[in-house]
Amino acid sequence: MSGPTTDPRAAAPGTVVPTRRNTELLLLGFAVLITLAAQSIVDVTITGSLRPELATFGGWFAALWAVVHLVVRRFAPYADPLLLPAVAVLSGLGLTMIHRLDLAGMQDGAEATREDAPVQLLWATIGVALFVAVVVVLRDHRLLSRFAYTLGLVGLVLLALPAVLPASISEVYGAKIWIRVAGFSIQPGEFAKICLIVFFAAYLVDKRDVLALASRRVAGLELPRGRDLGPVLAVWVVSILVLVFERDLGSSLLLFGIFVVMLYVATERASWLLIGVGLFAGGAFLAYQLFGHVRVRVDTWLDPFAYRDEGGYQLVQSLFGLGTGGLFGAGLGGGRPDQVPVAKSDFIASAIGEELGLFGLVAVIVIYLVLVERGLRTSLVVRDAFGKLLAGGLAFAVAWQLFVVLGGVTGLLPLTGLTTPFVAYGGSSLVANFGLVAILVRISDAARRPATPPPPPKQAIGEAPTEVVSS
Amino acid sequence: MNAPLRRVAISVLVLFTLLIVNVNYIQVVRSDELREDSGNTRVLTEEYSRERGSIVVDGTEVALSVPTQDTLEYLRQYPQGPLYAPVTGYYSLVYGAWQLEDAENEVLAGSDARLFTRRLTDLFTGRDPSGGDVVLTLDAGVQEAAMAGLEGVTGAVVALDPSTGAVLGMASTPTYDPGRLSSHDPADIRAYAEELGAMDADPRLNRATEDNYPPGSVFKVIVSAAALSTGEYTPETVVPAPDVLTLPGTSTQLRNFGNSSCSSSQEQSLIDALTISCNTAFAQLGIDLGEDRVREMAEAFGMTGERLEIPMRTAGSSIGDIESEAALGQTSIGQRDVRMTPLQAAMVAAAVGNDGTLMTPHLIDQVRAPDRTVIDRADPEELSEPVTPEVADQLQEMMESVVTEGSGRAARIPGVTVAGKTGTAQVSGDVPDHNWFVGFAPADDPQIAVAVFVANGGGTGGDVSAPIAGDVMQAYLEGQGG
């Protein structure tokens, strides 16, 4: 690992590194404007007039991002300027779609549906609070590595908790991944994901030399020694346990995928990828053979239309929505995304595809791509190994989660219960992902910050006034 | 660690590309297939959210959409429900559209090409698109008389304007309330549909067009037309009319209705044979004419087996395969495999009444844009010319005789000469006969041609169906000020 001073990417002392905070401010303003425009279109299309609460919503939403911006300007001035605008536009779009589905629910009038959009705005506020706390308190991301093992344990506990709790508090739609207390539903897996990524990053930085170097060459591949397989096997077992006891293919796939990729990045050994894919394929095959619910899930995925009235109903409805949306979509408020069950959470992407069309959905995917690639760029630029691995893991986690979710609702992969980061309805996911972005912002600040604090303007020694060195 | 990180970045690009390609495949390539899938209710609910056009009879809307407060925005209503049900059909959330609601869906829903420019202006002016109206050729008086005549029986009435082919009346019983099938309450829709399905005769079937039945002696008009068209026969030509005809090549003995005798001399004129509907005379006549002449004439009258679109698709009518002279004999009295829809029977009468020219039957008089401007109007079309005007005159004379002094006396209308033909068709199995009457009035200048069909009526065409036909024709002629 290169020390800070020898990294060629580090800005040479004396050059002024632009903070790009004004770019961020401009883009954030743009994201807020887009959100307000979208909300107005929804209101006018569905109810014919703007709702009075729109001003409150707009003010609140703009205030959230103003706070975020000010905190970043003050505490992480060199942070990547694109991360937050991407998150702002995604969460704004999510709030719009949730509000839109609220209106559809109220129109149906079948049952008194509570409005979810204000709740989601509240969750976003909590998310922003978490973001501010992380950015303010965590002045250096390397501090996290000190608590890595604690966080790893917390992650495991969070992951395992729903499996241990009685089904009455932990099971929703067959997946045992919830903790429901006093009207609140929390998916601890979302927080476990971040804790475990921190742990993986610290652990792998520690052990990367052993895992990378001690190897045997078999058939042109650098294979690790048997005993070094321990960690990957452990994570594999945990993933399989999640799959079996929580019936949650999504978290299982997410966790294992992130770990294998981080292992690969840490060791630079492609053989880990092959071992990982092999292990997961084997585990998945076993699960398919042994467990009915996995088999049903896979069969439904292979031919959803054959099960259109049963397990395939959601996916088929999602495909109907996407297909009906076509190239340009039905327009915000013009489609029937409420026909898809749980459109607000699991299937929000198909609601976007139906109303904003192919163009809208691809635009959303590209915004995610921007977010992820900026995160990966941060990990390329940051100078310490832990930061590199952590940023890479977090960025990849967002990408991998989006791939698994979108793949699921479009029939590319078996359906999982994962949520679309920042967009889908769900407090845990939103808050946890704000935490994730906070860490990324912190690392990106470290990555772009000049190696040493900008010195005062150079002056000839002789001309320099005498001053008291105070720092 | 930067090299693998770059590879991860590229992999993410690949994964996202996969997503984008897949979304393209779903939203572009499979778009139409998914949009039109029967399980996709979006298109239907979108249709419901537009004001659907009306179906109009004599200036009155018999099917119309009224705004509602629920999500489907418009409710389809049929103010005179059962009266026009066989024609309008229904527009159901659960069962889709039926009859005219189905056949004219493009106009009613507003997607018809003739409404295109209108839709385009709607797009730019932001007006809610709405459907066009369909104005029917039906006459309210005829329809009411027809439905009233069929009250309590299973059957159908079709009335045509002989000179244009316009359908003046189309009744089918038992009937139903299309409004209940078009409600917004799926549970009630299903319950009502099950109730209808459990009935002996499903009311949703339009018996006037969608099913065909043995016509019995009505077919003798066609055999007469075939004979007269040869030039070798006139109404006065004397033909054999034995009490019993042993069908050639068999020991089957064909008798007259009720084992009666047609003529003490065992022969009679063609006009007399038709007047009293002599079976043996027409069986022998058909055999003498040969299969080709009988078949050609039946086809010329429209019995080609082809299905018409009026615009609902009808069942076909045909005389079936004829394997032997014996079969030809039975065919010639409208039994064996001869099948006619009541519409076809009315077409036979209409062609005779229209100087031998058969007009294409049609139900739609006008198509109107939502602002009531007429965008299309029916243009009467000739379907065929089964007989010459001279032969038509001779047939008219013979059919007049049927009503004035023969089996069709019950169809008489005071002050008006009526021409017609009765039919009593045996049905296989131990069930009562079908009773038919076809005719037109006034005989010398026909304004209306009708066919009345009563399934398993249990009497004869003369006493069950002829009176209904008389009432229907009278209702029309009185309505026209005649």
Judge whether A283 is closer than 8 Å to chain B, CB to CB. no
Judge whether A109 is closer than 8 Å to chain B, CB to CB. yes
Pairing mode, strands B133-136 and B55-57: parallel
A11: which DSSP letter?
P
Nearest to A323 among B4, B27, B71 (CB): B27
Judge whether B123 is closer than 8 Å to chain A, CB to CB. no
CB contact under 8 A, B31 and A399: no
Q: How far is A41 from chain B (nearest CA, A)?
A: 15
Mark A389-408 as b/e (b = at least 16 C-beta within 10 Å). bbbbbbbbbbbbbbbbbbbb
**Residues of B involved in catalysis:** 217
Nearest to A265 among B8, B33, B70 (CB): B8
- How far is the C-alpha of A203 from the C-alpha of A183, rounded, in Å? 37
Average pLDDT over residues B12-30: 94
- How far is the C-alpha of A162 from the C-alpha of A245, rounded, in Å? 9
Q: Is residue A76 helix, strand or coil?
A: coil
Nearby residues of A70 by Cβ (< 8 Å), 6 or more positions away = none
Q: Is residue B356 helix, strand or coil?
A: coil
Question: What Rg value do the Cα atoms of chain A yield, rounded?
Answer: 24
- How far is the C-alpha of B34 from the C-alpha of B99, rounded, in Å? 26
Nearest chain A alpha carbon to B13: A369
Chain B positions in Cβ-Cβ contact with residue A266 (cut-off 8 Å): 1
Q: How far is B132 from chain A (nearest CA, A)?
A: 23
Chain A positions in Cβ-Cβ contact with residue B123 (cut-off 8 Å): none
- How far is the C-alpha of B217 from the C-alpha of B212, rounded, in Å? 15
Please state the length of chain A.
471
- How far is the C-alpha of A263 from the C-alpha of B147, rounded, in Å? 82
Chain A positions in Cβ-Cβ contact with residue B23 (cut-off 8 Å): 322, 353, 358, 361-362, 365, 406, 410
Q: Percentage helix, strand, coil, to 5, in chain B?
A: 40, 20, 40
Closest CA to B165 of B311, B361, B26, B313: B361
Domain B212-340 class?
alpha beta
* β-strand partners of A120: none
Give B235: exposed, middle or buried? Use CB within 10 Å, 0-12, 13-18, 19+. buried
Q: How far is A239 from chain B (nearest CA, A)?
A: 22
Longest pairwise C-alpha distance within chain B: 118
Tell me if B301 sits within 8 A of B351, measured CB to CB.
yes
Pairing mode, strands B60-67 and B74-77: antiparallel
Place of tokens 């041609």: B449
Place of tokens 């009207």: A183
- How far is the C-alpha of B279 from the C-alpha of B295, rounded, in Å? 18
CB contact under 8 A, A323 and B12: no
Return the pLDDT at A110.
47
- How far is the C-alpha of B304 from the C-alpha of B66, rounded, in Å? 42
Judge whether A336 is closer than 8 Å to chain B, CB to CB. yes
Chain B positions in Cβ-Cβ contact with residue A366 (cut-off 8 Å): 16
Chain A positions in Cβ-Cβ contact with residue B2 (cut-off 8 Å): 380, 388
Q: Measure the CA dihedral B72/B75/B76/B81, to 10°.
A: 140
Give yes or no for residue A463 having a pLDDT over 60. Answer: no
Chain B positions in Cβ-Cβ contact with residue A368 (cut-off 8 Å): 16
Question: If pLDDT is split at 50, 70 and 90, which confidence band does A107 have?
Answer: low
CB contact under 8 A, A392 and B1: yes
Residue B452 CB coordination number (10 Å) = 36
- How far is the C-alpha of A70 from the C-alpha of A198, rounded, in Å? 26
Chain A positions in Cβ-Cβ contact with residue B71 (cut-off 8 Å): 107-108
Return the pLDDT at A1.
43
Judge whether B28 is closer than 8 Å to chain A, CB to CB. yes
- How far is the C-alpha of B108 from the C-alpha of B100, rounded, in Å? 9
Judge whether B19 is closer than 8 Å to chain A, CB to CB. yes
Nearby residues of A279 by Cβ (< 8 Å), 6 or more positions away = A232, A233, A236, A256
Give yes or no for residue B308 having a pLDDT over 90. Answer: yes
Chain B positions in Cβ-Cβ contact with residue A339 (cut-off 8 Å): 41-42
Identity of the amino acid at A191: F
Tell me if B63 sits within 8 A of B99, measured CB to CB.
no
DSSP string spanning A254-295? Answer: HHHHHHHHHHHHHH--HHHHHHHHHHHHHHHHHHHHH-HHHH
Each domain of chain B, given as residue ranges in start order, spans 212-340
Residue B345 CB coordination number (10 Å) = 31
CB contact under 8 A, B31 and A323: yes
Nearest to A107 among B27, B28, B71 (CB): B71
Return the pLDDT at B251.
87
pTM of the model: 0.66
Tell me if A123 sits within 8 A of A154, measured CB to CB.
no
Closest CA to A31 of A73, A90, A72: A90
Q: How far is A467 from chain B (nearest CA, A)?
A: 43
CB contact under 8 A, A373 and B9: yes
B362: which DSSP letter?
B
Closest CA to A72 of A123, A135, A134, A133: A135
Give the highest mean pLDDT range of A109-118, A266-275, B120-129, B295-304.
Answer: B295-304
Please state the length of chain B.
482
State pLDDT tens for residues B143-154: 999 999 999 999
Judge whether A410 is closer than 8 Å to chain B, CB to CB. yes
Judge whether A408 is closer than 8 Å to chain B, CB to CB. no
The overall average pLDDT reported for chain A is: 84
Nearest to B42 among A316, A339, A380 (CB): A339
List phi, psi (to 5°) of B158.
-125, 130
Return the pLDDT at A214.
62
Within 13 Å of residue A201, how many CA atoms lie on the same side as its CB?
A: 32
Question: If pLDDT is split at 50, 70 and 90, which confidence band does A422 have?
Answer: very high
How many inter-chain contacts (A to B, CB under 8 Å) are there? Answer: 131
- How far is the C-alpha of A131 from the C-alpha of A97, rounded, in Å? 23
A4-13, A69-78, A441-450, B40-49, range with the lowest pLDDT: A4-13
The more confident residue out of B153 and A183 is B153
- How far is the C-alpha of B69 from the C-alpha of A463, rounded, in Å? 85
Question: Among A265, A273, A383, which would you mutate to test the B interface (most chain B Cβ atoms within 10 Å of its Cβ)?
Answer: A265
Longest pairwise C-alpha distance within chain A: 86
Question: Among A322, A340, A367, A420, which would you mutate to test the B interface (most chain B Cβ atoms within 10 Å of its Cβ)?
Answer: A322
Judge whether B15 is closer than 8 Å to chain A, CB to CB. yes
| Stretch 191-250 of chain A: residues touching chain B, C-beta under 8 Å | none
Return the pLDDT at B230.
95
B313: which DSSP letter?
B
Nearest to A323 among B2, B34, B45 (CB): B34
Return the pLDDT at B121.
66
State pLDDT tens for residues B216-257: 999 999 999 999 999 999 999 999 999 999 999 888 888 888
CA distances to A35, B139, B148, B464 from B454, rounded to whole Å, are 68, 21, 13, 8
Omega cis (within 30) before B442 = yes
Judge whether B187 is closer than 8 Å to chain A, CB to CB. no
Judge whether A373 is closer than 8 Å to chain B, CB to CB. yes
Chain A positions in Cβ-Cβ contact with residue B46 (cut-off 8 Å): 336
- How far is the C-alpha of B94 from the C-alpha of B96, rounded, in Å? 6
Tell me if B177 sits within 8 A of B203, measured CB to CB.
no
A402-406, B69-73, B163-167, range with the lowest pLDDT: B69-73
Give B386: exposed, middle or buried? Use CB within 10 Å, 0-12, 13-18, 19+. buried
Chain A positions in Cβ-Cβ contact with residue B30 (cut-off 8 Å): 319, 323
Nearest to B12 among A325, A366, A396 (CB): A396
Place of tokens 């929703």: A172
Place of tokens 């009266």: B83
Judge whether B21 is closer than 8 Å to chain A, CB to CB. no
Question: If pLDDT is split at 50, 70 and 90, which confidence band does A312 have?
Answer: confident
Return the pLDDT at A4.
44
CB contact under 8 A, B19 and A108: no
Question: If pLDDT is split at 50, 70 and 90, which confidence band does A249 have?
Answer: confident
List phi, psi (to 5°) of A422.
70, -25
Closest CA to B443 of B406, B473, B405: B473
Judge whether A106 is closer than 8 Å to chain B, CB to CB. no
Question: If pLDDT is split at 50, 70 and 90, which confidence band does A6 have?
Answer: very low
Nearest chain B alpha carbon to A410: B23
Return the pLDDT at A5.
43
- How far is the C-alpha of A361 from the C-alpha of A319, rounded, in Å? 13
- How far is the C-alpha of A271 from the C-alpha of A225, rounded, in Å? 12
Distance of CA B141 to the CA centre of its chain: 18
Give yes or no for residue A389 having a pLDDT over 70. Answer: yes
Closest CA to B218 of B355, B99, B332, B57: B332
Q: How far is B90 from chain A (nearest CA, A)?
A: 24
Assigned token pair, B227: 């004979």
Chain B positions in Cβ-Cβ contact with residue A412 (cut-off 8 Å): 18-19, 22
Angle at the Cα of B262 (from B260 to B267), degrees rounded to 5?
Answer: 145
Return the pLDDT at B94.
79
Judge whether A412 is closer than 8 Å to chain B, CB to CB. yes
User: Residue A32: in which H helix or E strand, if any?
Assistant: helix A21-47
Closest CA to B308 of B368, B243, B383: B383
Give yes or no for residue A111 having a pLDDT over 60. Answer: no
- How far is the C-alpha of B330 from the C-alpha of A91, rounded, in Å? 81
Judge whether B38 is closer than 8 Å to chain A, CB to CB. no
CA distances to B152, B203, B403 from B200, rounded to whole Å, are 13, 9, 33
Assigned token pair, B350: 């209409």
Pairing mode, strands B253-255 and B167-173: unpaired
